[in-house]
C-alpha cells in the first residue's frame, strides 16, 4: 500500500494507541452532502442562528426556527454515512475506539452502525423533537404535516409545553449526561482524534484540550487551520473520508 507520510503517521498512532476517543464535527458530514457552519459556503454565511432565549420568548421566532428546519430537512433525511463515518465505525467495531463524541446532530454515526450506547451527542439530534417541559418525543414527519396546515409552532399534546428539535441551541444548557460521559471517555483515551471541527465552539472544544492535558496524543484532521493545531501531535489537512479511510483500510 502506498500511503502518504501523514496518513502513515496517523495509521501508526492508531496502531500504537490502547484506547482512542473520536471527536467529530460538521466536517465529517460534508462528504455526505450536509453543509457545515463555518466553511466559506457554510450555513451561517447566510442566516444568523436563533438562540434558545429567542426561541422561548416568541412564537414568531419559533415559527421561523421550524420554517428553517423544514426547509433544510431534506438534506439530512436523505444523507447517508460516507467513508469517514464508515472508518470511524470500523474503529469502534475493532474495539480500538470505545466511543464517538460528536457535535453533529444528523444521526449519521448511528446510521453507520455504531451502537447508540457508544455515541455521545454533545449538541443533541435534529432527526426528532422533544417537549421542553415533559420530554415527550415527537417525530419530525408528523410535525411537518401539522405545520404545513397553519404554520403554528408545535405544542406538546401531553402538557402543552414548547416542542423543539432535540438539538442544543446557543444559550441552551448542555446535556449533563453527555458531558459527563464525554469527559470520562476523554480521560480514558491515550489518543484523541478530531475529525472535521473548527474547534471554536465551547465547551465542546474543551475536550481535545483536556485529552492533551491528561497526557493523550492529539491528532486533528481538518481542511482549515484550527486554534488547537499548535497543541496537536499530528495535523492533517486532507479530506476526512480519504485520509481516515486510507489509515483504517476502509473504502
Ligand atoms: P464547523 O462548521 O465550525 O467546522 C467544520 C470544519 O470542518 C471546518 O473547519 C472545515 O474546514 C472542516 N471540513 C469540512 N469538510 C471537511 C472534510 N470533508 N474533510 C476535512 N475537513 C472538513 O463545525 P463544528 O466545529 O462541528 O461546529 C459547528 C456546530 O454546528 C456544531 O455544534 C454542530 O452541532 C453543528 N452542525 C452540525 C451539522 C451536522 O450535524 N452535520 C452540520 C452543521 C452544523
Ligand atoms: Zn410535554
Q: What is the CATH number of the domain that holds 117?
A: 3.40.50.1220
Is the domain of 2 the same as that of 110?
yes
Residue count of the chain, please give it: 251
Closest among 8, 5, 68, 19 to 217, alpha carbons compared: 19
Examine the domain organization and report whether 222 and 182 are in the same domain.
Answer: yes
- Helix (H) / strand (E) element for 205: namely none
Residue 72: per-residue pLDDT = 87
Task: Tell me the ligand closest to 138's alpha carbon.
Answer: 2
Which residue, of 102, 135, 167, is where some domain finishes? 167
251, 178: one domain:
yes
Residues framing ligand 1 (Cβ under 6 A): 25-27, 29-31, 34, 36-39, 42, 103-106, 123, 196-198, 201, 221-224, 239-240
Phi, psi of 112 (to 5 degrees): -80, 0
Ion ligand 2 nearby residues (CB, 5 A)? 131, 133-134, 136, 156, 158-159, 161
CA contacts within 13 A on the Cβ side of 41: 4
pLDDT of the residue at 20 = 98
Tens digit of pLDDT at every position of the chain (251 positions):
557 999 999 999 999 999 999 999 999 999 999 999 766 555 555 678 899 999 999 999 999 999 999 998 999 999 999 999 999 999 999 999 999 999 999 999 999 999 999 999 999 999 999 999 999 999 999 999 999 999 999 999 999 999 999 999 999 999 999 999 999 999 999 999 999 999 998 999 999 999 999 999 999 999 999 999 999 999 999 999 999 999 999 99
pLDDT of residue 205: 94
The grid cell for 43 is 450555513
Structure confidence at residue 46 (pLDDT): 64
Same domain, 24 and 74: no
Last residue of a domain, one of 139, 167, 195: 167
The closest ligand to the CA of 158 turns out to be 2
Find the 76 Cα to ligand 1 centroid distance in Å: 14
User: What is the distance between the alpha carbons of residues 245 and 188, in angstroms, rounded to a whole number?
Assistant: 24
One domain for residues 160 and 241: no
Name the residue among 125, 123, 83, 119 with its Cα closest to residue 106.
125
The answer to whether residues 140 and 247 belong to one domain is no
Last residue of a domain, one of 138, 167, 196: 167
Same-domain pairing of 112 and 208: yes
Q: What is the distance in A from the centroid of ligand 2 to the CA of 138? A: 10
Q: Which residue among the candidates 69, 123, 164, 181 is catalytic per the annotation?
A: 123
Residues 109 and 215 in one domain: yes
Atom of ligand 1 nearest to the CA of 37: 2
Spell out a b/e string for 42-52, using b for 16 or more CB atoms within 10 Å of the CB, else e.
ebeeeeeebeb
Same domain, 46 and 21: no
Q: Reduced to 3 states, what is the DSSP secondary structure of residue 37? A: coil
pLDDT recorded at residue 37: 79
CATH of the domain at 138: 3.30.1600.10
Residues 133 and 248 in one domain: no
DSSP characters for 47-87?
-PPP-HHHHHH-HHHHHHHHHHHHHHHHHHHH----HHHHH
Q: What is the pLDDT of residue 3?
A: 72
Pocket mutation for ligand 1, best pick of 196, 205, 206, 227 (most atoms within 8 Å of C-beta): 196
- Domain check: are 214 and 118 in the same one? yes
Q: How many domains does the chain have?
A: 2
Global confidence as pTM = 0.94
- Respond yes or no on whether the N-terminal peptide bond of residue 203 is cis (omega within 30° of 0): yes
Same domain membership, residue 159 and residue 186: no
Contacts of 53 (CB under 8 A, 6+ apart): 171
Question: Strands (DSSP E) along the chain, which ranges?
Answer: 20-24, 97-102, 119-121, 124-131, 137-139, 163-167, 191-195, 217-221, 234-236
Residue 26 confidence (pLDDT): 97
Is residue 2 within a helix (H) or strand (E), and if so which, with residue range?
A: none
Residue 125 has a pLDDT of 97
Ligand 2 centroid vs 66 CA: distance in angstroms? Answer: 18
pLDDT for the residue 48: 83
Atom of ligand 1 lying closest to residue 205 CA: 25
The range of the structural domain enclosing residue 226 comes to: 1-34+81-123+174-251
Distance 137 CA to ligand 2 centre (A): 9
Amino acid at each position: 500500500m502506498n500511503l502518504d507520510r501523514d496518513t502513515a503517521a496517523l495509521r501508526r498512532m492508531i496502531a500504537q494507541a490502547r484506547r482512542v476517543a473520536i471527536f467529530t464535527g460538521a466536517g465529517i458530514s460534508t462528504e455526505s452532502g450536509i453543509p457545515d457552519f463555518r466553511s466559506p459556503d457554510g450555513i451561517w454565511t447566510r442566516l444568523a442562528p436563533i438562540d434558545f432565549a429567542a426561541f422561548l420568548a416568541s412564537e414568531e421566532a419559533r415559527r421561523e426556527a421550524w420554517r428553517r428546519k423544514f426547509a433544510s430537512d431534506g438534506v439530512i433525511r436523505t444523507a447517508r454515512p460516507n467513508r469517514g463515518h464508515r472508518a470511524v465505525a470500523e474503529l469502534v467495531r475493532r474495539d480500538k475506539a470505545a466511543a464517538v463524541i460528536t457535535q453533529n446532530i444528523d444521526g449519521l454515526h448511528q446510521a453507520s452502525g455504531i451502537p447508540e450506547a457508544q455515541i455521545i451527542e454533545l449538541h443533541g439530534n435534529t432527526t426528532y423533537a422533544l417537549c421542553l417541559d415533559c420530554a415527550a418525543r415527537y417525530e419530525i414527519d408528523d410535525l411537518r404535516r401539522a405545520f404545513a396546515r397553519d404554520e403554528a409552532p408545535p405544542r406538546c399534546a401531553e402538557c402543552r409545553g414548547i416542542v423543539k428539535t432535540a438539538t442544543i441551541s446557543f444559550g441552551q444548557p448542555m446535556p449533563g449526561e453527555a458531558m459527563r460521559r464525554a469527559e470520562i471517555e476523554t480521560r480514558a483515551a491515550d489518543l484523541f482524534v478530531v475529525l472535521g471541527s473548527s474547534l471554536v465552539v465551547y465547551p465542546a472544544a474543551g475536550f481535545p484540550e483536556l485529552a492533551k492535558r491528561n497526557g493523550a496524543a492529539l491528532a486533528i484532521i481538518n481542511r482549515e487551520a484550527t486554534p488547537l493545531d499548535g497543541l496537536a501531535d499530528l495535523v492533517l489537512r486532507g479530506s476526512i473520508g480519504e485520509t481516515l479511510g486510507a489509515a483504517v483500510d476502509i473504502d
